[in-house]
Homo-oligomer: A and B are copies of this chain.
Amino acid sequence: MPQLDLSASSIDLTRAICDVPSVSGDERALADLIDEAVGALAHLEVSRDGDTIVARTMLGRAQRVVIAGHIDTVPINGNLPTRDIEIDGQPYLWGRGTVDMKAGVAVQLKLAAELTDPRVDLTWMWYDHEEVDADLNGLTRLARMRPDLFAGDFAILGEPTGAQVEGGCNGNMRAIVRTRGVRAHSARAWIGENAIHRAGAVLERLSEYRPREVAVDGLEYREGLNAVRIHGGIAGNVIPDLCEVEVNYRFAPSLSPIDAEQHVRDVFSGFDVDVVDVAPGARPGLDAPLAREFVAAVGSAPKPKYGWTDVARFSAMGIPAVNYGPGDPQLAHHDEERVPLSQIEDVERGLRSWLTAS
Residues of A within 8 A of B (CB): 170, 172, 174, 185-191, 194, 196-204, 206-207, 211, 222, 224, 226-240, 243, 245-246, 248, 250, 277, 306-308, 329-330, 332-333
Contacts and interface: CB of A to CB of B under 8 A. Distances in A.
B230 A191 contact: no
**Most chain B Cβ neighbours within 10 Å, of A227, A237, A239, A250:** A227
DSSP majority for the A interface? mixed
Nearest to A224: B189
Given A190-B222, A197-B207, 19 more contacts: A185-B330, A185-B332, A187-B307, A188-B306, A188-B330, A189-B224, A189-B226, A194-B206, A196-B203, A196-B206, A196-B227, A196-B245, A200-B200, A200-B207, A228-B235, A228-B238, A229-B234, A236-B246, A236-B277
Nearest to A332: B185
Contacts of A187: 170, 172, 224, 250, 306-308
Given A196-B227, A196-B245, A250 B189 contact: yes
B224 A236 contact: no
A306 B198 CA distance: 24
A230 B228 contact: no
Contacts of A235: 228
Nearest to A207: B197
A243 B224 contact: no
B230 A196 contact: yes
A153 to B, nearest CB: 28
A232 B206 CA distance: 15
Contacts of A194: 206, 226-227
